[in-house]
Amino acid sequence: MDIDLILRVYPFFIEAAVVTLQLSVLTCLLGLACGTLGASMRLSRLAPLRWIAAGYVSVFRGTPALIQIFLLYFGGPQIGIQLDAFAAGTIALGVNIGAYMTETIRGAIVSVDRGQTEASRTLGMSKGQTMRKVILPQAARMMIRPLGVNINALIKGTALVAPISVIELTYTAQRFIGSTYKPFEMFLIAGILYMIIIYAAGQGIKWLDRRAQIV
C-alpha cells in the first residue's frame, strides 16, 4: 500500500467528503419534504391526491435512481430544464429518497393505534387537531429509526452522482485512479470516509431515538 500517495491525495478527498456531506444533507432535507407531502397526500380524504402520491412512490421506487439522475441531468435540457450537475443530482436523489420516506412516514402514522384517534375525536378534537397533537407526536417517535434506514441508503446513494461529474467521494476516487493507477488505495480512502459519515449519521439517529423514547 502506498502510504505516501495516500497522504498526498488526502486533502482532495476531504474536500470531496464535504461535497458528499452537502449532497447528503440537502438530499435528506428535500427527501423529508417530499416524504411529508407524499405521506399527507397518501392519507388524504381526496382520492386524486392519494393516486398522485401512490403514482409518485411506485414510479420513483420502481426505477433505478441512476436513470432518474440521468434523465434529469442529460434529458432535462431537451425539455428546457438546465441544471448544473450538483443541483440535478441533489434534486433527483432527494425526490427519489422522498418516495421511500413517503412510505416510512405514512407507515408510522398508520401504525398509531386507532384508539388514539377515537379518543381524541370523541373529545371533540378535529381531524387536524388530532393529527397535530395526538398522532404525529407518537408517529414521529416511531419513524426515527426507519427514517434512519432511509438516510443510510441515501448517503450511499450519493455515489450515483459520480457519473454526472459531481466532484464527490466516488468521483474523486475514480479521477485519482485515472492518474495514479492505484484503485485499492483510492477506493479504500473513499470507503473509509463514507463509513465515517454514515457512522456519524447513525449515531445522530440513535441519539434522537433515545431522546424521543424517554417517556
Partner 1 sequence: MSDTPFVDIRHAAKSFGALEVLKDINLTVERGQIVAIIGPSGSGKSTLLRAINELDPLTSGEVWLEGVQINKKLPHRQYEKHVNQVRQDIGMVFQHFNLFPHLSVRDNITLAPKMLKGMSTADANKLAEEQLANVGLSDKIDVFPSRLSGGQKQRVAIARALAMKPKVMLFDEATSALDPELVEEVNLVMKKLAEQHMTMIIVTHEMDFAASVCDRVLFMDQGVVVEEGPPSVIFQNPKEERTKNFLRKHLSR
CA neighbor of 202 nearest in space, from 169, 154, 166, 134:
154
Binding segment toward partner 1, per CB under 8 A, in 94-102, 126-134, 143-151, 165-173: 126-134
Residues 154-193 that bind partner 1 (CB under 8 A): none
Nearer to partner 1 (CB atom), residue 80 or residue 115:
115
131 Cβ contact partners less than 8 Å away, ≥ 6 residues apart:
none
110 contacts partner 1 (rule: CB under 8 A): no
> What amino acid occupies position 177?
I
Nearer to partner 1 (CB atom), residue 121 or residue 175:
121
Candidate residues 113, 183, 199, 200; the one interacting with partner 1 per rule CB under 8 A = 113
# residues contacting partner 1 (CB under 8 A): 21
Candidate residues 20, 120, 150, 170; the one interacting with partner 1 per rule CB under 8 A = 120
Interatomic CA distance for residues 131 and 137, integer angstroms: 8
Candidate residues 29, 123, 149, 192; the one interacting with partner 1 per rule CB under 8 A = 123
Sequence length of the chain is 215
Residues 30-49 that bind partner 1 (CB under 8 A): 45
Alpha carbon 151 to its chain's center? 5
Given CA atoms 53, 63, 84, 192 in this order, what sign does their dihedral have? positive
63 Cβ contact partners less than 8 Å away, ≥ 6 residues apart:
none
148 Cβ contact partners less than 8 Å away, ≥ 6 residues apart:
201, 202, 205, 206, 209
126 contacts partner 1 (rule: CB under 8 A): yes
Binding segment toward partner 1, per CB under 8 A, in 2-10, 14-22, 80-88, 114-122: 114-122
Q: Which residues bind partner 1 (CB under 8 A)?
A: 45, 113, 115-116, 118-127, 129, 133-134, 137-138, 141, 215
